[in-house]
Amino acid sequence: MNKEAISLLISGAHIIDPGQDIDQIGDLLIAEGKILRIGSTVTLSQRPERGEGKVENLDASGLVLCPGFVDLHCHLRQPGFEDKETIATGTKAAAIGGFAAVCCMANTEPPLDTPAAVDWVKQKASRDGAVAVFPIGCITKGRKGEELTDMAGLAEAGVIAFSDDGDPVASSLLMRRAMEHSRELGLPIIDHCEDKELSDNGIINEGEISAKLRLEGIPAAAEEVIVARDLILAKLTGAKLHIAHVSTKGSVELIRRAKEEGISVTAEVTPHHLTLTEERIVRETPDKSFDVNAKVNPPLRTRDDIEALIKGLKDGVIDAIATDHAPHTLADKNCGLERAAFGISGFETAFGCLMSLVHKGEISLTQLISKLTCEPAKVIGRNDELGTLKIGGPANITILDPDREWIVDSRNFASKGKNTPYDGYKFKGKVMATIANGRVVYIDDSLVIARSEVTKQSHV
């Protein structure tokens, strides 16, 4: 990994930074890992004298340059599930997907329910991570929903939020206490909204398709009941509440009304819930079975739900797009629809599938970038260092080609998780390079950095 101080001039890019209302053709100069200049014409002579390292040049004409993507919700699986993913493989996949920073969920083994466990992840990420990793701490010990963790100790250890993601906190009283503590600590609760009794071993969305195929369904109400409960608790406690992976029209409307009431709530939606319906999982594969790679929790919903989610994005009800990257082994998935694990490996396909919304005119490119950069950074209170091209701030940058066509081939994923329902899809829109904290951690083969020793298709 190259630790030398370097200067990098990126020239001719379409620079978009929604958080600063920047939308212009111009150049950007990086020196010693920080953004030094942005302008219509920037020269290497403008770098400070102390930046005596190598000088590199990247012609980004025809490409879009924006702040590095920030993912609020991913599963890096380490410690405990290294057969599914590691911090090294997961963050490399994140870099390929354009993410300069990721927030990892606490459902590892052991779970991130002690300061020691959090410290282990931070040290491992410091050594092996291609991009910045921000741990999320457990709400309850062992994620069992019975007793609160030492939330103050976890906050001191550096968690950016609390979540038992993968499971809800079933006890309303315990969730109230968690919110009270999180309010005092100034950190959000990230909420997995699922009434387990209502979801009741469901496999896909409850509706016409589940009834026709006689498959156990997961009703929209299983999500919406907990969304409603925790919005009420957030109002009661004054806590910051973040609703994870919103999937239903009803949830969008509950969050809309809560925001209108002044409740401190934010929300995220995944790329797959924006682009795939319940019909995708029952599309027959060559061997006449269902596509287990489209089995996810919450399940893929209906076209009406997707339309409500997109509207929620556009009008600010939904603040961010998060991948919920959930890698699994082939054995986890290739065991029949009923037994297959929930989850989609999402880092490397996120931007490509989301660009379908832009090309169809459902959202603008600037809106999409905003939901991947400044808005998620604001949710976790890191908008001074993440999701921005602020002069003097760390150089976290993503370079995009909105019109580049490519075909998804999961065999080439950097992630260990090859479980994607997008395998074989042709996307229009591709991440071309990712810079994390001033280091080029990914660059497409078609780009050339002059006088550089960067190894393409890998972090340096």
Q: Would you please indicate which residues are annotated as catalytic (active-site) residues?
A: 324
Structure tokens at 163: 């979540």
Nearest to 76 by CA among 122, 115, 143, 145: 122
CA 39/CA 391 separation, integer angstroms: 11
CA end-to-end span of the chain:
5
CA 62/CA 28 separation, integer angstroms: 15
* DSSP conformation letters of 265-313: EEEEE-HHHHH--GGGTTSPPTTS---GGG--SSPP--HHHHHHHHHHH
CA 411/CA 395 separation, integer angstroms: 31
Structure tokens at 313: 């994005």
CA 443/CA 420 separation, integer angstroms: 23
CA 192/CA 173 separation, integer angstroms: 16
Three-state DSSP at 190 gives: strand
CA 47/CA 33 separation, integer angstroms: 12
Give the number of other Cβ atoms within 10 Å of residue 174's Cβ.
16
Asked whether 162 and 139 are in contact (CB, 8 A), the reply is: yes
137 burial via Cβ count (<10 Å: 0-12, 13-18, 19+): buried
Give the number of other Cβ atoms within 10 Å of residue 170's Cβ.
16
Give the number of other Cβ atoms within 10 Å of residue 39's Cβ.
13
332-367: b or e for each residue (b if 16 or more CB lie within 10 Å)? bbeeebeebbbbbbbbbbbbbbbbbbbeeebbebbb
CA 211/CA 227 separation, integer angstroms: 25
CA 423/CA 411 separation, integer angstroms: 9
Nearest to 324 by CA among 417, 198, 227: 417
Nearest to 29 by CA among 14, 12, 47, 17: 47
